[in-house]
Chains A and B, each alone.
Chain A
Amino acid sequence: MTTVTDVGPARGELTAQAGYGVTQRRVLHSEWTKLRSLRSTLFSLLAAIVFVVALGILISWAQASHWDQESPIDRLTFDPTNTSLSGVFLAQLAIGVLGVLMFSGEYGTGMIRATITAVPHRLPVLWAKSIVFAVVTFVLMTVSSFVAFVGGQAMLSSKHIDTTLGHPGVLTAVFGGGLYLTVVALLGVALGALVRSTAGGIATLFGVLLILPLIVNFLPSSWSHNIDPYLPSSAGQAVFTVVRESSSLGPWTGLLLFCGYAAVLLAAAAVVLRRRDA
């Protein structure tokens, strides 16, 4: 490395060209670059795709191959759509962790200082990270859900227990797989901004999505029946369930409530991001 004395264009030459400055659009562009330039992002997204597609097909195959041993009640409540989308439950780990890392990864490495120095208003960063990651998740996970559905139904067709997109609620449910994961992504982004640490963010997110329903399950059944449908996980998962229990919310009501939780967290993240020292 040589000693450099030439420090580039003379003062003002670059800035004199009009038009440099922070805009929401430009911050979106920047966040897209950040997302695609990390190997961990690409691996996590690949994992999520494999989880949705491979697990959905695998479990559909298992169900079909053991169909003859299933009890009548199990056959009656069998949900071929939900079965082929069972990989969504695993994929939410990859998507949720990645969502948390959008901010916690920057706090952990110190990158957040560079980010906030460039965008001192801060909120454009929150919106840009949310939009970029939500769009990427929605596109990839919706496509994955459809692939899993088609592959899963092909497995189930051997026992003629498959369904088609033409059946009531099925198209909604397949779209719902992508939508559910998109909202999980947003929950992760918001928690990452709120908690700042990767471990804390992940623990909070999956404490709510995975552990909370288990704990509610231990409550007296009259309580748990009234509480469970409104938990973020149950509300969100209603959107990709076709054969549902009587107490659970409808697909769109559930998704709306799930989005509500995400909106509240994002609003809290906005307040905290704006107020707290970086």
Chain B
Amino acid sequence: MIEVQGLTKRYGEKLAVSELSFTVRPGIVTGFLGPNGSGKSTTMRMIVGLDQPSEGSVLINGQRYRDVRAPLCEVGALLEARSVHTGRSAYNHLLALAQTHGIPRRRVGDVIELVGLAGVARKRAGGFSLGMGQRLGIAAALLGDPGTLILDEPVNGLDPEGIRWIRTLLQDLAAQGRTVLVSSHLMSEMALTAEHLVVIGQGRLIADMSVADFVAGASENVVHVRSPRAAQLRDLLLSADVTIRADGADVLEVSGLPSDRIGAIAAAAGIALSELTPRQASLEEAFMALTHDAVEYHGGSASALPHQPGDGSAQTAGGARLETHGAGARS
């Protein structure tokens, strides 16, 4: 459990993080999203005590990070930039970290095996590829068998195999009851990995909700209709709650009506449909809509997303189905 309370970080005049409050719960993967420069890394650095908050606090299982007796056994962190001396071997890097806690050598061998670096453990870390470097960072994070894991952009620059490995690993760690906070700017990745989302923009909290709610609420769900008699159908469908956008001579984008109703109305009028496709906004689109708002924070643009603070609605099914074009899931 990570509790972030009123966290603020100022660099001179600039506010990097502003009165940020959220809770990361155990047992699920929580995605930490935001555009570049939104304060994700700064927040994560404050969680593990690398940066001092200007205001506010972070508690890990009720304790400040600095007061934890065995930090590596409480929190495992993989931070964005590499945190390894390039001249030291992977094995000695992990051994030196383990020794600060009295963690036995056996565990160093175990985590090296676990992340698949056994073949290169005695080689200088400076020669590692990006993927190997990430694996070494994850080995360091797992060294103390921590109950909480914090990973900043863990899939950055990884090949598909590496991405799949991390995705599985994170879900397994969460399934074991650990608290997992993972930042990313890859929304599609979050859809497959995370169950809950904390979204920030310009250092402020934008959303704290389940992935399912996030997508459902993010933007209108549209039904894509194609018909030779589109203009005629358009008049039949129009009502107060329904908005229709014509897209070419025979295509309609209908929002506010489920696809089965549209099909029924068309059938009743004897209008043939050549296409009837419900389209749910992808997480990517939802995120774009949100961050667009964040960027235009002062512009007063119409909000596409209802602000919905976290209310424990995370018990919905995991992300995979979110990318399919299922029936409108608006709740």
Identify the A interface with B (CB < 8 A): 1-15, 19-23, 26-27, 29-31, 33-34, 37-40, 105-106, 109-121, 275, 277-278
Residues of A within 8 A of B164 (CB): 3
B88, B89, B147: most-surrounded residue (chain A CB, <10 A) = B88
In the bound complex, do residue B169 and residue A109 qualify as a contact, i.e. CB atoms below 8 Å apart? Answer: no
CB-contacts of B72-128 with A (<8 A): 72-73, 75, 77, 79, 81-89, 92-93, 95-97, 99-103, 107, 110-111, 114-116
Q: Which residues of B contact A278 (CB under 8 A)?
A: 45, 50-51
Please determine whether A116 and B50 come into contact, CB atoms closer than 8 angstroms: yes
Q: A154 to B199, alpha carbons, bound, how many Å?
A: 75
Q: How far is the CB of B258 from chain A (nearest CB, A)?
A: 39
Contact of A110 among B84, B101, B176 (CB under 8 A): B84
- With the chains together, A34 CA to B84 CA distance in Å? 11
State the 7 A-B residue pairs at the shortest beta-carbon distance, nearest first.
A1-B116, A14-B145, A37-B92, A30-B99, A113-B83, A21-B70, A111-B85
The interface bits of chain B over 49-61 (1 if a CB of A lies within 8 angstroms of the residue's CB, else 0) are: 1111000000000
Contact A120 B66 (CB under 8 A): yes
Q: A5-B172, A111-B88 are in contact. List 6 more A-B contacts (CB 8 A).
A: A3-B164, A15-B73, A15-B147, A37-B89, A106-B85, A110-B83
A241 to B103, CA, bound (A): 47
- How far is it, in angstroms, between the C-alpha of A11 and the C-alpha of B172 when the chains are bound? 11
In the complex, which residues of chain A have a beta carbon less than 8 angstroms from the beta carbon of B83? 110-114, 117
| Contacting pair A114 B102 (CB below 8 A) | no
Q: Which residues of A contact B96 (CB under 8 A)?
A: 30-31, 33-34, 37
The total of Cβ contacts below 8 Å across the A-B interface reads 159
Give the distance in Å from the alpha carbon of A48 to the alpha carbon of B51 in the complex. 37
For A1, what are the chain B residues with a Cβ–Cβ distance below 8 Å?
Answer: 116, 135, 161, 165
Kindly report which residue of chain A lies nearest to residue B88, judged by CB atoms: A37
A114–B99 contact, CB under 8 A? Answer: no
CB–CB A29/B99 < 8 A: yes
Contact of B295 with A by CB under 8 A:
no
10 A-B interface contacts by CB (under 8 A): A7-B114, A8-B114, A9-B145, A20-B70, A20-B102, A20-B144, A21-B69, A117-B49, A117-B77, A277-B52
Q: Select A111's contact among B45, B66, B70, B84, beta carbons within 8 Å.
A: B84
Q: A34-B88, A109-B82, A111-B83 are in contact. Are A12 and B100 (CB under 8 A)?
A: no
Question: B87 contacts A11, CB within 8 Å?
Answer: no
Residues of A within 8 A of B147 (CB): 11-12, 15
What are the residues of chain B within 8 A of A27 when measuring CB–CB? 100
Number of chain B interface residues as a range: 35 or more
* Neighbouring B residues of A118 by C-beta, 8 Å: 71-72, 97, 100-101
The reply to whether the CB of B264 lies closer than 8 angstroms to some CB of chain A is no
CB distance from B17 to the nearest CB of A (A): 13
Instruction: Give the Cβ gap from A273 to chain B, nearest Cβ, in Å.
Output: 12
Taking the complex as formed, is B168 at the interface, i.e. its CB lies under 8 A from any CB of chain A? yes
Interface centre among B71, B114, B146 (most CB of A within 10 A): B71
Q: Do B172 and A7 touch (CB < 8 A)?
A: yes
Q: A37-B92, A111-B84, A114-B83 are contacts. A120–B49 as well, Cβ < 8 Å?
A: yes
**Cβ of A112: which chain B residues have Cβ within 8 Å of it?**
83
In angstroms, Cα B164 to Cα A113, docked, is: 27
CA distance A3 to B169 in the complex (A): 9
**Which residue of A has the minimal Cβ distance to B26?**
A11
Determine whether the beta carbon of A38 is less than 8 Å from that of B88.
Answer: yes
Instruction: Tell me the residues in window 13-50 of chain B with beta carbons closer than 8 Å to chain A beta carbons.
Output: 45, 48-50
Enumerate chain B residues within 8 angstroms of A10, measured Cβ to Cβ: 176
Give Cα A211–Cα B146 distance, bound, in whole angstroms: 50
Contact partners of B165 in chain A: CB under 8 A: 1, 3-4
Q: Whole-angstrom distance between the alpha carbons of A37 and B86 in the complex?
A: 11
Residue B142 is within 8 A (CB to CB) of chain A in the complex = yes
A8 touching B101 in the complex, CB below 8 Å, given contacts A113-B81, A277-B50: no
Chain B residue nearest to A113 in the complex (CB): B83
Closest chain-B Cβ to A10's Cβ sits at a distance in Å of 6
Cross-interface CB contact of A14 among B45, B107, B173, cutoff 8 Å: B107
Listed residue (B102, B111, B165) with the most chain A CB atoms within 10 angstroms of its CB: B102
| A22–B50 touching, CB < 8 Å | no
Q: What is the bound-complex CA distance between A38 and B125, given in angstroms? A: 11
